[in-house]
Amino acid sequence: MTTDRRVLVHPDRATLAGSVAARFVTKLIDLIDDEGEAHVVLTGGSVGIEVLAAIAHSPARDSIDWDAVHLWWGDERWLPRGDADRNETQARTALIDHIAIPAENVHPFPASDEGLELDAAAEAYAAELARFGRDGAEHPRFAIMFLGVGPDGHIASLFPERPGPLVSDRTVIAVHDSPKPPAGRLSLTVPVIRATERVWLVLAGADKAPALGLALAEADPASVPAAAALGTKRTVFFVDTEAAADVPESLRTPPSYWTGAMETHDWMPSSWEPSDYRRS
């Protein structure tokens, strides 16, 4: 497994969201062209949803063959279907409702009003993952996984000093004692994250700087779950300047931006190197 972590620093969160969105569109087009399909894991959080909204507003959005894309989630709050605080609801509003993706290609976690207990819901999502695994695998081959990072270093709903980051025998866990409300949550586990080809962590704000610094320093994942986030091909932290306060200069990579045939927006600076852009 690669231990290569790159940090792309952007001047502000709007530029960050637009840059990640443009990179995602280009990478997804390439992946579908090469593989015929792509399984993608979405995240919640304010910056994660801003990225999805930027994808929806991209003039290249419809260049993606959405019939070939499957969308999943890294975690979810145990709330009724359609609740405004569900990651699924926010993702639908920001992106999914605006693209021509088949309903059967969207794989949300179960909701609290669907007749399942939390532990049974975790088992149900694990079964759904396994349904799309190749050659008996427990989950699909995820091409891209978006993750947010909390100020405490949590990713998905894997929180510090809780059992979640250490679970290795399941693909999905039920979280009964989340330190952030609601207490009940569902989450993918570290083995699924580390089996993903490209892990893209997106974070902004000065409150995220300590967690980012500890993750890059390879802290104990039990205390800083973000330190466990590694992709099999690439791991990229997309951050703004405030979040990058504790990042050594040696780990920073100048970001690249798509301007190509796309309409130029105020979040798209004019520098772009195709070789840099596509490799992520």
The pLDDT value given to residue 254? 56
Domain boundaries, the chain: 5-279
**Which residue is listed with tokens 């780990």?**
251
Q: Helices 46-56 & 13-35, crossing angle to 10 degrees?
A: 60
Inter-helix orientation angle 87-94/46-56, to 10°: 30
Residues 6+ apart with CB under 8 A from 180: 150, 159
Spell out the residues 6+ positions from residue 34 whose beta carbon is closer than 8 angstroms to its own.
none
The CATH number of the domain covering residues in 5-279: 3.40.50.1360
**d(Cα 227, Cα 220) in Å, to the nearest integer?**
7
E-assigned strands of the chain? 5-10, 38-42, 69-73, 75-77, 142-147, 172-175, 185-188, 198-203, 234-240, 252-253
Where does residue 197 rank: exposed (0-12), middle (13-18), buried (19+ CB within 10 A)? middle
Residue 280 has what DSSP assignment?
-
Token reading at 276: 């840099």
Measured distance CA(8)–CA(18) in Å, rounded: 13
pLDDT of residue 1: 45
| pLDDT for the residue 258 | 33
- Average confidence (pLDDT) per 10 residues, the chain, 280 residues: 76 95 97 97 96 96 97 98 98 98 98 98 98 95 98 97 96 97 98 98 96 93 97 96 83 47 31 38
Rounded Cα gap, residues 7 and 254, in angstroms: 8
- The 10s digit of each residue's pLDDT in 128-161 is 999 999 999 999 999 999 999 999 999 999 999 9
At 280 the pLDDT is: 55
**Residue 2: per-residue pLDDT:** 45
Report the pLDDT value the prediction gives residue 149, as an integer from 0 to 100. Answer: 97
- Close Cβ partners of 197 (under 8 Å, ≥ 6 residues apart): 141, 142, 143, 144, 231, 232, 233, 234
What is the Cα 56 distance to its own chain's centre?
A: 16
The CA distances from residue 225 to 64, 190, 216, in Å, are 32, 9, 11
Picking from 127, 45, 40, 159, the residue whose alpha carbon sits closest to that of residue 94 is 45
pLDDT of residue 99: 98
Q: Which pLDDT value is given to residue 154?
A: 97
